[in-house]
Chain A
Amino acid sequence: MATVELTFSALPAHVRTARLVATAIARRTGVEESLLDEVRLAVGEACSRAVEAHRLHCPGEPIRIELRDDSGRFEVIVTDVAPSDDMENDLSPLMGGPGGQSGPSDQFGLMSDSLSSGFGIAVIAGLADDVEVYPSAKGMRIRMSWPAAANGVTPA
């Protein structure tokens, strides 16, 4: 069962709120202090990506974030409803996949002020040891988790 569920409209200002809520619940759930920066950044990246996708495709639709404390893990799921068919193409140059074999510095000439959607996901992949990305024509779901206290609650 989700500890907290939050929906917010696709406004950049709300991403900070989502980050703050996620970090507070991660701390409460017993995630180590040394990991809280990673949680904050990864949740921010996932929410920023979702906000930008919604602003492009469906600005009136809300973004959903679920924060759970199941089985000694702190789990965050960010779900949007913007089509994400291009996700694989966005990711491949940065990940050395079929779209390109080179790293970010070699891709410098292709970068712009707004890095690709895949760049944010690449950052998340570098931060969380457990990440799953489910792109689809109906939206994207990013699930990530970190180790938490076994009883799910930080000692007072």
Chain B
Amino acid sequence: MDLKLDHRTEDRLTIVEVEGEIDVYTAPRLRELLIDLVNKGNFHLLVNMEKVDFLDSTGLGVLVGGLKRVRAHDGSLELVCTQERILKIFRITGLTKVFGIYASVDEAKEAHGRDK
């Protein structure tokens, strides 16, 4: 399955919807979107990965790159993910300590609201 990307902004939080496979072939498109969002002043990003079928280290690199960019503007990049197959790669690489990972968009929005 190819990669589908969409985004919307709610209360200063930009929600990026990702669907499909994030790998060495498709990851550049996600990277371009994250860079574009940051360049347009969106510094608080929430990447919803509930419809992601596959994620490899190339995709992790793109997310880490996005996190670096938003942090340079005192921003945040957090994730929504409950799929064990995707969470496993975050655990293996220790990146669960780097990203905030939430069970739903609503839960992430609530936490974001508390932190504002």
Chain A residues packing against B (C-beta within 8 Å) = 12-13, 15-16, 19, 37, 40-41, 44-45, 48, 51-52, 103-105, 108, 111-115, 119-120, 122-123, 126-127
Cβ–Cβ contact B24 & A123, under 8 A: no
Bound state CA distance, A26 and B84, in angstroms?
20
Known: A41-B54, A45-B56, A123-B92. A16 touches B23 (CB 8 A): yes
Bound state CA distance, A127 and B93, in angstroms?
11
A–B pairs, 7, beta carbons within 8 Å: A15-B23, A15-B25, A19-B54, A105-B98, A112-B68, A114-B61, A120-B57
Cβ–Cβ contact B61 & A113, under 8 A: yes
With a cutoff of 8 Å between Cβ atoms, the chain B residues found around residue A37 in the complex are 85, 88
Bound state CA distance, A126 and B88, in angstroms?
10
Cβ–Cβ contact A40 & B60, under 8 A: no
Interface SS of chain A: helix
Of all chain A residues, the one with the shortest Cβ separation from B2 is A16
Q: How far is the CB of A47 from chain B (nearest CB, A)?
A: 8
Cβ–Cβ contact A108 & B89, under 8 A: no
Residue B97 at the A interface, CB < 8 A? yes
With a cutoff of 8 Å between Cβ atoms, the chain B residues found around residue A44 in the complex are 23-24, 54, 56
Residue B78 at the A interface, CB < 8 A? no
Cβ–Cβ contact B56 & A41, under 8 A: yes
- The interface on chain B, measured as residues whose beta carbon lies within 8 A of the other chain's beta carbons, has a size of 24
Partner of B24, one of A15, A105, A126: A15
Bound state CA distance, A77 and B62, in angstroms?
27
With a cutoff of 8 Å between Cβ atoms, the chain B residues found around residue A15 in the complex are 23-25
With a cutoff of 8 Å between Cβ atoms, the chain B residues found around residue A127 in the complex are 92
Cβ–Cβ contact A111 & B25, under 8 A: no
Bound state CA distance, A150 and B64, in angstroms?
42
Bound state CA distance, A47 and B92, in angstroms?
19
Bound state CA distance, A12 and B21, in angstroms?
13
Cβ–Cβ contact B61 & A105, under 8 A: no
Residue B104 at the A interface, CB < 8 A? no
Bound state CA distance, A21 and B94, in angstroms?
29
Residue B109 at the A interface, CB < 8 A? no
| 19 extra A-B contacts, CB within 8 A, seeds A37-B88, A115-B58 | A12-B24, A37-B85, A44-B24, A45-B56, A45-B57, A48-B24, A48-B56, A103-B94, A105-B94, A108-B98, A112-B64, A113-B31, A114-B58, A114-B61, A115-B57, A115-B61, A119-B61, A122-B92, A123-B56
With a cutoff of 8 Å between Cβ atoms, the chain B residues found around residue A111 in the complex are 61, 64-65, 68
